[in-house]
Amino acid sequence: RTGMHAIIAIHNTDLGPAIGGTRYLQYHAAGQAIIDSLRLAYMMTLKASISGLAHGGAKSVIIAPKKLSNRQELFEQFGDFVHDVNGRYICACDVGTSTDDMDTIASRTPYVIGAAKTHRHQTNPCSHTAKGIFLGMCAAIQHKHDTDNFDGIHIAIQGAGSVSHALTKLLTEAGATVTACDPNAAALSQLQSSFNVKTVPPQAIYDVECDIFSPCALGGTINLNTTNKITAGIIAGAANNQLSHPRIAKLLLKKGVVYAPDFVINSGGLINAAMVYDYQDPSLADTKIKGLYDTLLSLFERSAKEKINTLDIAKDIAISRLKQASINTHNGILNTREKNTLPED
Ligand code: NAD
């Protein structure tokens, strides 16, 4: 009807309906959009599983047309598409989409988070993501430096976008020193005018002498080349798919670098979204996000004890939970949503 070309990639629903953001982006080819959505959906499954949510992972992409005549009609049709999937997929804001778009989708389907005019309105996911990253950093300095305060701790943040802004607030309030970079001069100067931070050009961020390197911009920036430059003993940030290859996690362990796996430390936004959707209760989300401190601390401790990198351990925990859910579903013991609302025993 509108010429919409969209993909809904549902990776797994063993734990419950799959949640994932809707990207609205231009792609050179549909294949690229498919690969992007599948890769991101897999990560959402790991994220939801390790966070103990009754949800699976998904992602959707609307391939932005070269010329868009009516955005509202396009998102209405996307809402119909989401509705056709019959509740197996719940969409939310992501790159290129806004609360207004979610409102349009909500006019066609209830399977949406982040629409302002519904009771499932999620306020600013970035602040919840930043809170989780801050707590992950707290766990990392506790493990690495045996301290619970940021006095004398220097963090190099790659990117000065929304998550970095909220994270820098928490870090500077806690007494940390922050150096940031961003090719977007406006974003960088906004950060500088709000907080006492140093800035460097984007390529120089890897050379900053610091305790924590925090990738909060793009994926794949932790690679063979940059791991040779980064002097920080901790890597902890918001970006998805931070490592250019999973084997980099082994290299980091060998170098004695404490790595907070991206899909664990950046799950605050998803946790908040799930709690708002399931229970309309953001305070439940706060409690669960606080749990990220313990999750990451035990991950770091287990990695040091067993000499296994944190990424492999985290994947193992997430996949074990999925396997158990799948066995339960196949055996018809309990449906996973019931299982998740029962007490621990
Ligand atoms: P954002 O778009 O607000 O900010 C990203 C910033 O990175 C931009 O200012 C951009 O100019 C900058 N950037 C681009 N290339 C750069 C480079 N080479 N060096 C330094 N900076 C560069 O995005 P955000 O919402 O702050 O998210 C940051 C990252 O965290 C993204 O990778 C996102 O996928 C991931 N993430 C975000 C959330 C969330 O709640 N927003 C949740 C999970 C993961």
Give per-residue pLDDT as tens, 109-165.
Answer: 999 998 887 776 667 789 999 999 999 999 999 999 999 999 999 999 999 999 999
In this structure, which residue's CA is closest to atom 6 in ligand 1?
Answer: 161
pLDDT tens-digit map of 237-249: 999 999 999 999 9
Q: Is 269 in the pocket of ligand 1 (CB under 6 A)?
A: yes
> SS3 of 67, please?
coil
The pair of structure tokens assigned to 129 is 């993501």
H or E element at residue 309: none
Q: Is 182 in the pocket of ligand 1 (CB under 6 A)?
A: yes
* Burial per residue of 193-223, b for 16 or more beta-carbon CB atoms within 10 angstroms, e otherwise: eeeebebeeeeebbebebbbbbbbbebebbe
pLDDT at position 345, please? 27
Question: Exposed (0-12), middle (13-18) or buried (19+): which is 310, by Cβ within 10 Å?
Answer: buried
Identify which of 25, 51, 131, 163 to mutate to test ligand 1's pocket (most ligand atoms within 8 A of the CB).
Answer: 163
Whole-angstrom Cα distance, residue 196 to residue 179? Answer: 9
Residue identified by tokens 């996911």 is 125
The pair of structure tokens assigned to 16 is 């419950």
Strand partners for 212: 155, 234
Residues of the chain with pLDDT under 50: 335-345
| pTM of the predicted structure, to 2 decimals | 0.91
Cα-Cα-Cα-Cα dihedral of 222, 21, 164, 151, to 10°?
Answer: -80
The pair of structure tokens assigned to 209 is 């002498």
Cα 75 to the center of its chain, rounded Å? 24
pLDDT at position 116, please? 82
Catalytic residue among 47, 59, 144, 288: 59
Atom of ligand 1 nearest to the CA of 163: 26
Q: Is 179 in the pocket of ligand 1 (CB under 6 A)?
A: no
Please indicate whether residue 59 is annotated as part of the active site: yes
pLDDT at position 122, please? 65
Identify which of 61, 99, 129 to mutate to test ligand 1's pocket (most ligand atoms within 8 A of the CB).
Answer: 129
pLDDT at position 102, please? 94
> SS3 of 147, please?
coil
Cα 84 to ligand 1 centre (Å): 31
Instruction: Please give the C-alpha separations between residue 28 and each of 35, 36, 207, 219, 331, in angstroms, as whole numbers.
Output: 12, 12, 34, 19, 44
